[in-house]
Amino acid sequence: MHESCGVFGVFAPGQDVARLTFFALFALQHRGQESSGISTSDGQELKLHSQMGLVSHIFTEDILKKLDGHIAIGHNRYSTTGSSQQINAQPFVMGQGDNVIAIAHNGNIVNSEALNTELTSQGYTFKTSTDTEIISQLILSSIETDWVKRIRYAMNRLKGAFSCTLMTKDTLFAMRDSLGVRPLCLGKIQGGYVVTSESCALDHIGADFVREIEPGEIVAINGNGITSFKQQSSRRALCIFEFIYFARPDSLIDGRLLYSARQAMGVELAKEYPVDADLVIGVPDSARRLFAKGTCSPGP
């Protein structure tokens, strides 16, 4: 199961956004341990630092101080497509001049090969082997001048799962696929807003949970405030592995605390498949306390 990257974004003038992103990524470390990266914007320039390894090993005080600005996005990678190497570490910063974006993506695009072939035939070149670069190229290739319309154009071309944070020089964006396969939520912090894969990251940075980003929704956050652009979704398909394995138990997903949801699943599992046991050993570990809840007294 290699589909559990963590994404984060923050717009908060006057705050140390790189440090906030660092703490959020630390809270999301369980979603990806191959590489980590942070990109920031001061309104004029996008800066980036990404590296293989764990969050706590990558971002020193010197690195965080260099990542100044009032907008930031971050990413922890657990590869679904593309090899595990530095060139595939996210976020990606792509484009030039005023036509530049940074992007972090969690999910898996199933029509990536067809889109790669199409874009290559149009003269676009790819430096990595990731779905994220394809998403970036789709956005940048749009003839629209409005960023929301460009993002919507890309979303309409993509098939598969994507929860993304994106950043231009002056605006933070978040987008989620129409099925809502991967989680994404909105939080409020002093002076601004944050977007994160899981609500557990909000607690680490003193942010309050506002709501989940809806399937098919684009959220734009800048100096003018926050704006939502919704597209009606006919059905939802949140990945069940978020509930039973990927997400942290203290996260709130689909309106429910994961710890409570897992306990309820364990009770039902024990009812369907009762065993005469004194000890529960789970693989994966998230199953241990669940099944124990329904069969015997849970251990420490």
Task: Express each pLDDT in 229-259 by its tens digit.
Answer: 998 877 889 998 898 889 999 999 999 999 9
Annotated active-site residue 5? The verdict is yes
- The residue ranking higher by pLDDT, 215 or 269, is 215
* pLDDT recorded at residue 265: 83
pTM, two decimals, is 0.91
* pLDDT recorded at residue 297: 47
Query: Distance between CA 25 and CA 196 in Å, rounded?
Result: 9
Q: Tell me: the pLDDT tens digits for 57-97?
A: 999 999 999 999 999 999 999 865 555 789 999 999 999 88
3-state secondary structure of 288: helix
Q: Tell me: the pLDDT tens digits for 146-172?
A: 999 999 999 999 999 999 999 999 999
Q: Is the pLDDT of residue 299 over 60?
A: no
User: What are the structural domains of the chain?
Assistant: 6-229 (3.60.20.10), 255-295 (no CATH)
Query: Distance between CA 87 and CA 96 in Å, rounded?
Result: 19
Query: Distance between CA 128 and CA 186 in Å, rounded?
Result: 29
Query: Distance between CA 3 and CA 41 in Å, rounded?
Result: 28
Catalytic residue, chosen from 5, 164, 185, 239, is 5
Long-range pairs, 63-68, Cβ under 8 A, ≥24: 64/16, 64/18, 64/19, 64/22, 65/18, 67/18, 67/38, 67/39, 67/40, 68/18, 68/40, 68/42
Q: What is the DSSP letter of 152?
A: H
